[in-house]
């Protein structure tokens, strides 16, 4: 693969990589582990609560997340699969590190269960009905080229129109 993790940086909309579907990670190699550590570093520096590989220009099916901001709560999700989502949905404001200064009320299932591989190559399963569930769904969307601007209400699109146009310019 030959990626230099230290050179990774957060890419901004409308970079075309943000619209592409990612490819599964075949093996958790030392290079993948370095990429994950760099993504966690970038997420904390931003600061943010999640960061997906396309947001650093990589078409890899992985993201990192941390709802608390405490480093010991860092999580890596390689080849994640949302295996269950709740029937109850809620609208909450979301932002995105690749869409700075844009927020929108996004409707998502309140609870999800996700399965993934961690940074050590071990498969795990975790569930949440709180902020982590929302973060996982947001980052999971990135892996399929979906952004919050795709899920915005017409009112949020109007409210964010100027900032979106500035990013596109």
Active-site residue set: 139
**Which tokens hold the place of 28?**
């958790």
Distant-in-sequence, close-in-space partners of 82: CB < 8 Å, separation ≥ 6: 112, 113, 114, 136, 137, 140
**Which tokens hold the place of 35?**
């990429």
**Which tokens hold the place of 3?**
């990626």
Distant-in-sequence, close-in-space partners of 84: CB < 8 Å, separation ≥ 6: 112, 113, 127
Beta bridge partners of 89: 109
**Which tokens hold the place of 4?**
């230099």
SS3 state of residue 18: helix
């Amino acid at each position: 693969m030959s990626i230099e993790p230290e050179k990774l940086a957060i890419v901004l909309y409308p970079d075309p990589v943000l619209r592409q579907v990612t490819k599964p990670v075949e093996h958790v190699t030392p290079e993948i582990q370095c990429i994950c550590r760099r993504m966690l570093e970038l997420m904390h520096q931003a600061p943010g609560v999640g960061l997906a590989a396309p947001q650093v220009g990589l078409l890899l099916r992985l993201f990192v997340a941390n709802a608390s901001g405490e480093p010991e709560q860092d999580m890596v999700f390689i080849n994640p699969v949302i295996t269950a989502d709740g029937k109850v949905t809620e609208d909450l404001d979301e932002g995105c590190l690749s869409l700075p200064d844009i927020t929108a009320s996004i409707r998502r299932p309140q609870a999800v269960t996700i399965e993934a591989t961690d940074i050590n190559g071990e498969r795990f399963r975790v569930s949440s009905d709180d902020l982590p569930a929302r973060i996982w769904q947001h980052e999971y969307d990135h892996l399929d080229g979906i952004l919050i601007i795709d899920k915005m209400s017409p009112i949020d699109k109007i409210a964010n129109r100027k900032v979106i146009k500035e990013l596109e310019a």
